[in-house]
């Protein structure tokens, strides 16, 4: 799906970014894989005012694999996919708030509303109704929109910090019973500070992409070496807890003046999709 946005993650999962140097002129491609482990949560973007966490999953023991990808190198590794997202932000009083979005794969398989979403632990009941929905947080800073005819898609906006589309998808190359359904995401816009981290967020820091493109890399690692540290360094205790080792959420918020905030769209990524990549690190 050729989304127009800042960055996105797809499939099992693969992240790809195209740096913009001058206006709409596309320069070099930048991509990497980050898989994690089944049932674990990872800090994807961590900044003073914003945290985005992702939950990974893999095939359950009850799943039956009917067909594997032709190019599969390791038949014993099925990969991971994205199942949920946690989004944390601060309101005008610097109080933290937490949005969680989890996929219900059984509902998605039969075309029903597939998202279990909460705000500060309270279910977003409005999303349970069919048809278009506009949900707004009590503080007025967060909105969740489902457009007409797009029951498998949500658009989450956090003030001027984040505009993120979440869409369900199904595995087309590794065929299993029951079919594998998962989440993709697209950052249409994101605003970060120079101290941003997370396995994806660190790429938004000044000079980060250029530095990594200058590295000597091994294609066999699918550029996992672009990500600082180990997978465990990004592990969070839950989908709504910003407690990974590289967490920046709520730390140094007093330094977030207008001069430090820099939209990633100003000189950083525009993303394009590509195919399936499986890897065991």
- DSSP H helical ranges for the chain: 105-109, 208-213
C-alpha torsion 235→33→250→195, nearest 10: 130
Phi, psi of 166 (to 5 degrees): -120, 125
Residue 65 has a pLDDT of 83
Q: How many CB atoms lie within 10 A of CB 189?
A: 15
User: Is 268 a residue whose pLDDT tops 50?
Assistant: no
Return d(Cα 103, Cα 113) in angstroms, integer: 10
With contact defined as beta carbons under 8 Å apart, do 19 and 30 qualify? yes
Task: Tell me the mean pLDDT in the region 104-110.
Answer: 96
Single out the residue of 182, 118, 177 nearest to residue 152, CA to CA: 182
Return d(Cα 88, Cα 277) in angstroms, integer: 29
Highest mean pLDDT out of 26-35, 95-104, 264-273: 95-104
| Confidence (pTM) | 0.85
Convert the pLDDT of each residue in 131-176 to its tens digit.
Answer: 899 999 999 999 999 999 999 999 999 999 999 999 999 998 888 8
Convert the pLDDT of each residue in 193-218 to its tens digit.
Answer: 999 999 999 988 888 888 887 876 65
Query: What pLDDT band is residue 104 in, cutting at 50, 70 and 90?
Result: very high
Instruction: State both tokens at 35.
Output: 């898989």
Task: Tell me the mean pLDDT in the region 245-259.
Answer: 70
Helix (H, G, I), strand (E, B) or coil at 140: coil
Residue 261 has a pLDDT of 55
Return d(Cα 82, Cα 220) in angstroms, integer: 22
User: Is 8 a residue whose pLDDT tops 70?
Assistant: yes
Task: Tell me the mean pLDDT in the region 220-241.
Answer: 86
Q: State the burial class of residue 10 (Cβ atoms within 10 Å of its Cβ: 0-12, 13-18, 19+).
A: buried
Single out the residue of 55, 103, 100, 102 nearest to residue 80, CA to CA: 55
Residue 116 has a pLDDT of 97
Instruction: State both tokens at 133.
Output: 């929905």
Convert the pLDDT of each residue in 69-96 to its tens digit.
Answer: 766 554 444 589 999 999 999 999 999 9
Convert the pLDDT of each residue in 27-72 to its tens digit.
Answer: 556 788 899 999 999 999 999 999 999 999 998 888 888 887 766 5
With contact defined as beta carbons under 8 Å apart, do 169 and 182 qualify? yes
Which residues on neighbouring strands pair with residue 65, listed in sequence order? 176
Return d(Cα 5, Cα 132) in angstroms, integer: 22
With contact defined as beta carbons under 8 Å apart, do 160 and 146 qualify? no
User: Is 99 a residue whose pLDDT tops 90?
Assistant: yes
Instruction: State both tokens at 57.
Output: 């999953």
What mean pLDDT value characterizes the chain? Answer: 82
């Amino acid at each position: 799906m050729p989304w127009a946005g800042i960055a996105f993650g797809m499939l099992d999962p693969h992240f790809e970014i195209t740096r913009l140097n001058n206006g709409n002129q596309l320069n070099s491609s930048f991509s990497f894989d980050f898989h994690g482990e089944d049932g674990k949560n990872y800090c994807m973007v961590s900044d003073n005012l914003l945290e985005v966490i992702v939950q990974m999953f893999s095939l359950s023991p009850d799943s039956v694999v009917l067909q594997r990808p032709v190019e599969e190198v390791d038949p014993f590794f099925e990969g991971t996919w994205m199942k949920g997202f946690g989004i944390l932000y601060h309101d005008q009083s610097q109080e933290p708030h937490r949005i969680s979005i989890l996929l219900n794969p059984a509902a998605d398989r039969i075309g029903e509303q597939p998202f279990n979403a909460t705000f500060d632990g309270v279910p977003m009941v409005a999303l349970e109704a069919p048809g278009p929905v506009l949900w707004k947080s009590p503080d007025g800073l967060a909105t969740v929109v489902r457009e007409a005819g797009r029951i498998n898609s949500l658009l989450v906006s956090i003030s001027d910090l984040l505009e993120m589309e979440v869409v369900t998808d199904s595995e087309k190359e590794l065929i299993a019973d029951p079919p594998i359904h998962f989440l993709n995401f697209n950052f249409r816009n994101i605003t970060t500070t120079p101290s941003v981290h997370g396995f994806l967020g660190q790429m938004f820091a000044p000079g980060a992409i250029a530095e990594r493109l200058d590295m000597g890399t091994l294609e066999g690692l699918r550029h996992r070496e672009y990500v600082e540290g180990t997978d465990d360094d990004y592990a969070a205790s839950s989908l709504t807890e910003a407690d990974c080792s590289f967490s920046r959420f709520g730390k140094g918020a007093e330094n977030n003046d207008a001069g430090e905030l820099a939209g990633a769209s100003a000189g950083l990524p525009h993303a394009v999709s590509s195919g399936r990549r499986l890897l065991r690190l």
